[in-house]
Every structure is written in structure tokens, then in C-alpha cells.
Amino acid sequence: MDVLVLIGRILFVLLFLGSAFNHLSQSKAMAGYVESKGLPSAGNMVLGSGLLMLLGAISVVFGIWADLGALLLLIFLVPTAFLMHAFWKESDPAARQNEMTQFLKDLSLAGAALALLGLFAKAGDDLGLTITGPLFS
């Protein structure tokens, strides 16, 4: 079972690692997108969210306080869903559908991050193939 959980952790963080790389390597382009959503401090938001995703993903995949990593990803996902993918503000049907899909994806991933947080905290040191045990219990 430990190997299955490790494979699941790897698959779960792939999206976050790719997104973190894009946030950190293409921060100006990403900041333009954030600005188009009417949010302040776009550059800082892009860098902050990139670091949040990177730290959370590394924590989950390597099992270094994996519960904290899952919490970091949850903290990234919920505001992102509401601030960046507010489908209810879109008048164009195609744009509305795209934003709704992204909104639901973020909330679904938030649910998975929450489940992982609970799993890591409950399993404690019994969860194999991790570097540390959980931070929360």
C-alpha cells in the first residue's frame, strides 16, 4: 500500500510542479493574466502562489511534513478558484464554460488536498515512504 500512496502522491503533485515552474519562470506573462482578472499586486501574487505550489508539492511528494504540504496546496487552491475562475462573471458562454471547468478543477483538487491532509495526519508515522512524519496530529 505504501507504494500505491507514493504513486498517488507523485501523480497528484505533477500539476502543481508544472504550474509552479510556469509561475516562477514566466512570472511577467502570468502577472498579466492576474491583472486581467482585476487583482492587485499581480507580480507578487504570481511569485507567492508559485512558491506556495512548489513548497506544497515538494512536501507532499517527498513526505516532508506531507500534511503541511497538502495544507499549503489547499490554501492555494480555494482562493484561486474564486478569484481567478469566477465563471459567474463571464457573459460569453465559451468563456463561462472554460472558467467553470477551471473553478471545479480547483475545488476538486482542494478536496483531494484536504483528504490527503487528513490521511497524512491520521496515518502519522505509519504512512511509509516518507522522510518525516506529519506536523499535525
Q: In whole angstroms, how far apart are CA 23 and each of 6, 13, 48, 50? A: 25, 15, 9, 5
What's the CA gap between 3 and 98, in Å, rounded? 35
pLDDT tens per residue across span 13-66? 999 999 999 999 999 999 999 999 999 999 999 999 999 999 999 999 999 999
Q: What is the pTM of this model?
A: 0.96
Residue 71, number of CB atoms within 10 A of its CB: 22
pLDDT tens per residue across span 84-131? 999 999 999 999 999 999 999 999 999 999 999 999 999 998 999 999
